[in-house]
Structure 1
Amino acid sequence: MQVRLSAYWTDPGGTVRSPGETVDVDAVTLARMEEQGMVESPDSQTASDAGTTTTKPPKPQKIGPGPGTPPDKIGPGPGAPPADDSGN
């Protein structure tokens, strides 16, 4: 996992890493580093959940006049063409 350091850290190979540097670590090492406050977690997220997103499904749209609508209010609007009364 890629994490950004918030403090100096010496990697297992003995290399000293600076704050702001991005390093690749395993989950166990990450957990230890988080306990010690050595990694940044932007927007209150840890590196392990930074890729998750949540979305809400859209609200269903109301179609039709709905219950309790008076019959004289149902039908085409005032701009609709006149009904064809020819009886065909």
Structure 2
Amino acid sequence: MQVRLSASWTDSGGKLWAAGDTVDVDAVTLAELEEQGMVEEPEGQSSGSGETTTTSSSTPTPVKPVDPKKIGPGPGAPPADSTGD
């Protein structure tokens, strides 16, 4: 995938890339570059999207608490007994 560097970087082949250069990297290299804060976020793309090249870490969305009284048996549960016959 193509990413734009925010700082100079030397790839595994020894080639020096300048800040602002666009390079083609694999997912592992992208993760390493993001961890080091060396990847720019593309304009018009917000952080937290599915496929992103941001330098910020993603934070999990907090889970809303569920009232235990509102939890049902689920779709695999046997039908309720009928007592109205």
* TM-score (ref. length: structure 1): 0.50
> Alpha-carbon deviation of 1:41?
1.1
Query: Equivalents in 2 of 1:32, 1:45: separation in Å?
Result: 18
- After superposing on structure 2, the runs of 4+ consecutive aligned residues of structure 1 that deviate more than 4 Å are none
The residue aligned with 2:27 is 27
Aligned residues, how many? 49
Gaps of 5+ in 2: 53-85
Larger of the two Rg values belongs to structure: 1
Percent identical among aligned pairs is 65
CA RMSD of the aligned region, Å? Answer: 1.9
1:14 match: secondary structure: coil
> Alpha-carbon deviation of 1:44?
3.6
The residue aligned with 1:5 is 5
* TM-score (ref. length: structure 2): 0.51
1:3 match: secondary structure: strand
Gaps of 5+ in 1: 51-88
